[in-house]
């Protein structure tokens, strides 16, 4: 999403929704399980100026939920959960099911039948890799190359 797209987005055009988002505590909803917001976007018409949008985006960045994709800060990635949070969820599933010292393909983790009821099921592969890199830094996993792609071994 670019700053122009954010400014034109109905999400940033509504002060009521803005206050709801600011007041909300905890992680944002997962894009793998989208939910609709039951908020009327017509109650407070108008657009936020770019400076106000920058404040919102900077707060998301400080919390680890936004990453700038360019040096000019015109394109960004909003992460509903930080990679460390996704990694924690994945590792909890691994531990709960006694799967440490097991190897999985990335496909198995995000599309396999065994993870169908997990929050990380359907997660974007790029975000999965970020989560696994976070686990790798904690020495809980190692990303490996397999014949048919990438995988991960959990410790």
Whether 117 shows a pLDDT value over 90: the answer reads: yes
Asked if 64 and 76 count as a contact pair (C-beta separation under 8 A), the reply is no
Question: CA 31, CA 1: separation in Å to the nearest integer?
Answer: 15
- 134 close to 87: Cβ distance less than 8 angstroms: yes
The residues that bridge with 143 in the sheet, in sequence order, are: 152
Tokens of 151: 């995988």
Helices (H), the chain: 3-8, 15-23, 50-62, 83-96, 106-111, 125-137
Confidence band, pLDDT 50/70/90 cuts, at residue 52:
confident
Domain spans of the chain, in order of start: 3-78, 83-154
Handedness of CA 99, 101, 103, 106 (dihedral sign): positive
pLDDT at 30: 40
For residue 46, list its beta bridge partners: none
- With beta carbons less than 8 A apart as the criterion, state whether 27 and 85 touch: yes
Query: What fold characterizes domain 83-154?
Result: Arc Repressor Mutant, subunit A (1.10.10)
What predicted TM-score, i.e. pTM, was given to this entire model?
0.65
CA distances from 82 to 85, 108, 122 (A): 5, 21, 16
In tens, the pLDDT along 66-86 reads: 988 889 888 888 888 999 999
CATH number of 3-78: 1.10.10.570
């Amino acid at each position: 999403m670019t700053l122009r797209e954010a400014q034109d987005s109905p999400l940033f055009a509504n002060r009521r929704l803005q206050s709801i988002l600011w007041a909300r505590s905890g992680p944002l909803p997962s894009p793998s399980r989208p939910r609709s917001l039951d908020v009327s976007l017509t109650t407070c018409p108008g657009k936020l100026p770019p400076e106000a949008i920058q404040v919102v985006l900077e707060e998301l960045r400080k919390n680890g939920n936004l990453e700038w994709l360019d040096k000019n800060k015109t394109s960004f990635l909003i992460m509903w959960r930080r990679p460390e949070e996704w990694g924690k969820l994945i590792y909890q599933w691994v531990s709960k099911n006694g799967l440490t010292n097991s190897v999985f393909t990335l496909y198995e983790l995000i599309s396999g039948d065994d993870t169908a009821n997990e929050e990380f099921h359907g997660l974007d592969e790029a975000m999965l890799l970020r989560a696994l890199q976070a686990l790798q830094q904690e020495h809980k996993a190692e990303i490996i190359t397999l014949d048919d792609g990438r995988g991960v071994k959990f410790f």
